[in-house]
Structure 1
Amino acid sequence: MAGPDDAAGLSRAIGSAAFVLALRERGVRDTAVLRAMEQVPREHFAPAPLREHARRDIALPLPQGQTMTAPSVAAAMLGALDMRPGVRVLEIGTGSGYVTALLVRLGAGHVRSLERYPGLARAARERLGVNLNDATVEAADGLGPDSAERHSFDRILVNGGVAALPPHLPAALKPGGRLVMGLWSGRGCRLVTIARDGEAPPARLEGPALRLGPMTPGRGRVS
């Protein structure tokens, strides 16, 4: 006879399967991303009063006016990032830490995640727990020129939309690297991928429209 723990585990498994199926129906096709989203429980990273909505494809509000990106949007960005095992990742905009955990699950060798609000950074570190063996979460201005100073990365992910591409970010890409972000224009916010092939100038690829909140430069004044 199954006990309460078995029933809870079965319920979580059914919920995860339904969550992934819903994402497939919304056009998410990257199997590695879908597998990571099945394995990393979004409700663990959602604010407690909103956990019942964590498996819906909607953005969720976070403290300091920030948002937890809708799963289909996060999936589109992670798919464009084209993760490979062992890559070194710079993530700008930690938020809840959910996408950080997905990057780790997708095989990142290390994730350096920058969050402008110290309170959000602390909460994300607590949620990530043992995953911090593969990630560091820092309170810092991710859009400032110091964010990638003296560092280079295989992948850079900006979890939000910006009005202009900060020039220091493509410069921090290693040969073969990719930068994924939302870029605002008169047509709204669109997915943009910057791909660096060897020593050639980075190529810019424009993708679909995304529902992304704006990224704000500078350190947050509220802890």
Structure 2
Amino acid sequence: MNTSEDTAGLSRAIGSAAFVLALRERGVRDTAVLRAMEQVPREHFAPPHLREHARRDIALPLPHGQTMTAPSVAAAMLGALDVQAGARVLEVGTGSGYVTALLVRLGAGHVRSLERYATLARAARDRLGANLNDATVEAADGLGPGGSERQRFDRILINGAVATVPPHCLAALNPGGRLVAGLWSGSTCRLVTLNRDGEGAPTRLDGPVLRLGPMTPGRARVS
């Protein structure tokens, strides 16, 4: 028996349980999302010098001025998205790849994730590893019309705050599909869920105010 490995495994399990308990105390109630967050280690996706803070409910800085969304905010968005088993999901804004991994863990049939910074996309692919069997990470402008051209999705997650939901994203949503985003309203960002019940215009449901970083359109010029 390897005592050091057993001790490390026990420590990780205790840390995961405490992490989930803290999220429950902050109002996260979706059991599927909590289970996924317990199973996907956030520290694996955090920058190495910030891993000690990965189990705190705070956003963490990433290269190029981007951020790793706070766990409670990511949980709110994923809960609203309500990923169904086998769903085809478009994620706009890969960031660290943490939410991508959560989408896979939640049962998505395939996740297509678009990231405007090529370096972040490469790093996310490396971190996801075996999960790439169920996910594709691309360096692309998810807010531009070419990001989801000629494809349809059951779920679309805009992983940040936008002033308006791009029309091409709505056009890429299957009947019965759902889009979740952070939408600027005055000086605040609010969680917005758009449900497409048929071929017509989707219905909108406004959720709580969130602290989300703004999404920038266009493919980044830096690598």
TM range (shorter): over 0.9
Q: Distance in 2 between matches of 1:216 and 1:201?
A: 25
Which is further off, 2-11 or 25-34? Answer: 2-11
- 1:2 CA displacement: 6.2
Could you report, residue by residue, the CA deviation over 1:86-137 in whole angstroms, capped at 9, with x for unpaired residues? Answer: 0000000000000000000000000000000000000000000000000000
Pick which of 104-113 and 181-190 moved more: 181-190
Q: Which residue of 2 aligns with 1:91?
A: 91
Per the alignment, residue 11 of structure 2 pairs with 11
1:37-116, aligned counterparts within 5 Å? 37-116=37-116
Deviation for aligned residue 1:199: 2.4
SS in structure 2 of the partner of residue 179 of structure 1 = strand
Q: Which runs of no fewer than 5 residues in structure 1 stay unpaired?
A: none
Letter in 2 for 1:170: L
Distance 1:137 1:5 in 2: 32
| Aligned partner letter, 1:111 | V
Q: What SS class does the counterpart of residue 161 from structure 1 fall into?
A: strand
- Give 2:220's aligned amino acid: G
Indicate the residue corresponding to 1:176 in structure 2.
Answer: 176
In the TM superposition, 1:111-190 aligns within 5 A as 111-190=111-190
CA distance in structure 2 between the aligned counterparts of 1:216 and 1:161, rounded to whole angstroms? 9
Question: Is residue 23 of structure 2 the alignment partner of residue 23 of structure 1?
Answer: yes
**1:199 matched residue in structure 2:** 199
Aligned residue pairs, count? 223
Are residue 35 (structure 1) and residue 35 (structure 2) matched?
yes
Tell me, in whole angstroms, the C-alpha distance in 2 between the residues paired with 1:219 and 1:175.
29
Deviations 1:162-181 (A, max 9, x none): 01111111111101100000
SS at match of 2:147: helix
- CA positional deviation for 1:198: 1.9
Q: For residues 175 and 165 of structure 1, what CA distance do their matches in structure 2 show?
A: 17
TM-score, length-normalised on structure 1? 0.98
After superposition, the CA RMSD in angstroms is 0.9
Offset from partner CA, 1:59-78 (integer Å, 9 cap, x none): 00000000000000000000
* Residue type at the aligned position of 1:222: V
Structure 2: 5+ residue stretches without partners: none
The residue type paired with residue 52 of structure 2 is E
Return the letter of the residue paired with 1:143: L
The 2-side partners of 1:84 and 1:136 are apart by 18
Provide the secondary structure at the position in 2 that maps to 1:175. Answer: strand
Please report how far the alpha carbon of residue 187 of structure 1 lies from its aligned counterpart in structure 2 after TM superposition: 4.2
Instruction: Tell me, in whole angstroms, the C-alpha distance in 2 between the residues paired with 1:160 and 1:201.
Output: 22
CA distance in 2, matches of 1:200, 1:187: 30
Q: Could you say which residue in structure 2 is the equivalent of 1:208?
A: 208
Q: Distance in 1 between matches of 2:65 and 2:105?
A: 27
Deviation at 1:21, TM superposition (A): 0.2
CA distance in 2 between partners of 1:199 and 1:140 (Å):
27
